[in-house]
Amino acid sequence: MAGEVAVRNKQVILRDYVSGFPKESDMYVTTDSTVSLKVPAETRNAVLLKNLYLSCDPVMQFLIRNSQQKMRKYVYCTPGSPIRGYGVSQVVDSSHPEYKQGDLVWGLTTWEGYSLITDIVPETSLVKIHHTDVPLSYYTGLLGMAGKTAYAGFFEVCPPKKGDKVLVSAASGAVGQLLGQFAKLSGCYVVGSAGSKEKVDLLKNKLGFDEAFNYKEENDLEAALKRYFPEGIDVYFEHVGGKLFDAVLLNMKEHGRIAVCGMISQYNLPEPEPLKNLFQIALKRLNIHGFTHRDYDHIVPKYYEFVLPYIREGKIVYVEDIVEGLENGPAALVGLFTGRNFGKQVVAVAPPQP
Amino acid sequence: MAGEVAVRNKQVILRDYVSGFPKESDMYVTTDSTVSLKVPAETRNAVLLKNLYLSCDPVMQFLIRNSQQKMRKYVYCTPGSPIRGYGVSQVVDSSHPEYKQGDLVWGLTTWEGYSLITDIVPETSLVKIHHTDVPLSYYTGLLGMAGKTAYAGFFEVCPPKKGDKVLVSAASGAVGQLLGQFAKLSGCYVVGSAGSKEKVDLLKNKLGFDEAFNYKEENDLEAALKRYFPEGIDVYFEHVGGKLFDAVLLNMKEHGRIAVCGMISQYNLPEPEPLKNLFQIALKRLNIHGFTHRDYDHIVPKYYEFVLPYIREGKIVYVEDIVEGLENGPAALVGLFTGRNFGKQVVAVAPPQP
């Protein structure tokens, strides 16, 4: 077609459905295909995106499995096609009335240089970026799904009161580092659990946590929690599951609250770790709330109003672990599950068009 | 002292702290001691109770253990003394301004013919009975702790809406049979899980449950739940824990709610059964609420206003398993933990004074 430009399109292809922990060999990188930089004439309500940053998120492992429980079919990946995930992108061409060329967006895209996206739910699967005085990469985390998750979890699901004693697991991760900072801004005492000395240092010295510990170095997690919470935990933000969750149950205060948005330690075990202390739910009258950012699209504007001033004033900081190049994406994604990342894991694909 | 009458006092004595399931041999019955039918002159704020009915409750096992976590020290039992529990009693003598001779009360007493109670929290540990046109034994269950638990759980903790699909475990027990009837009165579909064919028949034919099943005959609890809840469970009232809880997690609807007031199957296992499906909490955004009747003393008047008309009209029925004689108390209590009871387990000790 006249005026159409086709370019090589680097892609991260799912080789086959993943079982157990994702491995680099479950994916491969190819530049075999080309892509037209126009939305095909007959395709309505579509955008052609140039991907700038891709986000590595624990939830992605579910999208690359042959799951029986596909909750939103359109987000799942199929072998032979690029994997899907969240990212920050620029609209190159659009047949969708809500998006025009040059728009910056964050949301569901595919792991390739350019993505033709045809299944758009505006403000849900693809959100327009209006604030560009902050790093664009933040829209993969702090201002994206992770930020929405942290804000919803903290202010809607389990709002802590001033003086509450708060525990955050996976505390240096994309969501955890925000939860800790929200807790400090709200006058709480906050302790973070993380998986290395460097992460513990980060929590205490850069992110303002009152205390932090390396769960891998604690033989007795229950005793560790008693050390930091001699009177018990008011609010726990749960991302890991397993032994830590079990120890937390024993250390909760009466009427304590737990917000669960993930259990990353349990996703890939052949058998989940047995939990022994569930009776504490009855004994201590605990409240446990599962939640996902997907129920909270509507709070994004309120969240931005809250968080952008803090970011601009440097009162909320965000640690990102950015690797350069789509070809380094599979290793970055796989590293999430061994805790190799240091802060929010991002893949930088390309700079935006000026 | 002149005018003082001393009588033989039959007692159920705790032989030694219990470990594992309570056994009959953990207790013994004696008539060795005598009791004065007067509150001792120097003892203030005390009552001397004649016990009429004693209640067998799963929670009692915690009171006869050497627990590290004694939540309310005064309710615990010590070896060599009578065990403690809930009952219906008549005041024989009183030095407490709130109680006078002849008053009928329900609340915390001791397993003996006559109890001198000195640690009274009015309207909490000892509640005056004002309605005597219903069987007095009901104040051990339907109008006592079990009723308060069921009412709080159903109407305060997890209020179901008309049309909700509700599952009740231990459904023929003291609390479960009420939950099922409340659910039917509220326009819900309700299924009960119980441990024998007779109990299943009771649920379906007398208590008005829509469906019921014998969990002991289901090799695949997950499939059983799918049969009764093809579209999933809205509300689950949890009393048993273990395998059933795990299967329920897989069968909950999104945003389903679980009220936990006990996990009787797990109390005495050397190792609790490993639960595999806790990630469903995050995936389905479940809400799990632990609760105990102890937080709901204030709703008792409202509960009576609600339930007494239904009882008088025969629209709420209550199945009791009453054994006669304090000497049969230990066997009745122990039977709770093997499901030997058929309905609310009560021990009839003596008739009230006219």
pLDDT tens digits along B15-71: 999 888 899 999 999 999 999 999 999 999 999 999 999 999 988 888 888 766 555
Do residues B41 and B63 share a domain? Answer: yes
> What pLDDT score does B1 carry?
47
Q: Which of B69, B71, B288 sits opposite A281 (nearest CB)?
A: B288
Q: Is A311 part of any domain?
A: no
When pLDDT is averaged across residues A142-170 and rounded to a whole number, the result is 95
User: How far B301 CA sits from the closest chain A CA (Å)?
Assistant: 23
Average pLDDT over residues B321-344: 94
pLDDT digits (tens, 9 = 90+) for B105-118: 999 999 999 999 99
Phi, psi of B283 (to 5 degrees): -60, -40
Q: Is A271 in Cβ contact with B283 (below 8 Å)?
A: no
pLDDT in the model for residue A1: 47
A and B: number of Cβ contacts within 8 A: 96
Question: Based on the domain organization, do A158 and A205 belong to the same domain?
Answer: yes
Instruction: Choose the mutation target among A260, A267, A286 for the interface with B, i.e. most B CBs under 10 Å.
Output: A260
The percentage of residues in chain A with a pLDDT greater than 90, rounded to a whole number, is 77
pLDDT at residue A264 tops 70:
no
Q: Is residue A113 part of a domain?
A: yes
The rounded distance, in Å, linking the Cα atoms of A252 and A167 is: 10
Residues A175, A234 within the same domain: yes
Is 60 exceeded by the pLDDT of residue A3? no
How many domains are there within chain B? 2
Residue A261's pLDDT band (boundaries 50, 70, 90)? confident
Same domain (yes/no): A165, A136: no
Q: Which phi-psi region, left, alpha or beta, contains residue B220 (left: φ > 0; alpha: ψ -120 to 50)?
A: beta
CATH code, domain with B326: 3.90.180.10
Task: Give yes or no: residues A219 and A333 share one domain.
Answer: no
- Residue B178 domain flag: yes
* pLDDT reading at B299 higher than 80: yes
In a domain, B303, yes or no: no
B70 touches chain A (CB under 8 A): no
Residue A66 neighbours by CB distance under 10 Å: 12
Q: With an 8 Å Cβ cutoff, is B266 touching chain A?
A: yes
A66 and A178 within one domain: no
Residue A305 falls inside a structural domain: no
Instruction: Return the residue in B61, B67, B281 with the most chain A beta carbons within 10 A, the one to mutate for interface testing.
Output: B281
| Residues A184, A236 within the same domain | yes
What is the pLDDT at residue B319?
94
Q: Are residues B19 and B92 in the same domain?
A: yes
> Can you tell me the distance from the alpha carbon of B285 to that of B123, in angstroms, rounded to the nearest whole number?
38
Q: Are residues B185 and B260 in the same domain?
A: yes
Regarding whether B135 and B150 lie in a shared domain, the answer is: no
User: pLDDT tens digit string along A34-56?
Assistant: 999 999 999 999 999 999 999 99
Confidence band of A75 (pLDDT split at 50, 70, 90): confident
Cβ-Cβ contacts under 8 Å, B170 against chain A: none
Which residue did the predictor score with more confidence, A275 or A342?
Answer: A342
Chain centre distance of CA A130: 21
What tens digit of pLDDT does each residue of A12-26 get? 999 999 888 899 999
Within a domain: B135: yes
State CA A219 to chain mean position distance. Answer: 28
CA–CA min distance B122, chain A (Å): 23
Residues B251-279, mean pLDDT to the nearest whole number: 80
Confidence of residue B265 (pLDDT cuts 50, 70, 90): low
Q: Is the pLDDT score of A268 beyond 70?
A: no
Q: Which residues contact A135 (CB under 8 A, 6 or more apart)?
A: A320
pLDDT at A70: 54
Residue (of B295, B169, B341, B151) closest to B239 by Cα position: B169
Position B242 scores a pLDDT of: 82
For residues A217 and A284, membership in a common domain is answered with yes
Model confidence over B132-175: pLDDT tens digits? Answer: 999 999 999 999 999 999 999 999 999 999 999 999 999 999 99
Cross-chain Cβ contact B276/A278 below 8 Å: no
Residue A48 and residue A91 in contact, taking contact as beta carbons nearer than 8 Å = yes
Closest CB from A274, A279, A288 relative to B288: A288
pLDDT at residue B189 in the model: 98
A104 and A221 inside one domain? no
B33 interfaces chain A, CB cutoff of 8 Å: no
Asked whether residue B301 is assigned to any structural domain, the reply reads: no
Greater pLDDT, B209 or A351? B209
Q: Which residues constitute the domain of residue A175?
A: 145-294
Residue A49 is assigned to a structural domain of this protein: yes
A276, A282, A292: residue with CB nearest B271: A276
Q: What per-residue confidence (pLDDT) applies to B64?
A: 85
pLDDT the model gives residue A59? 83
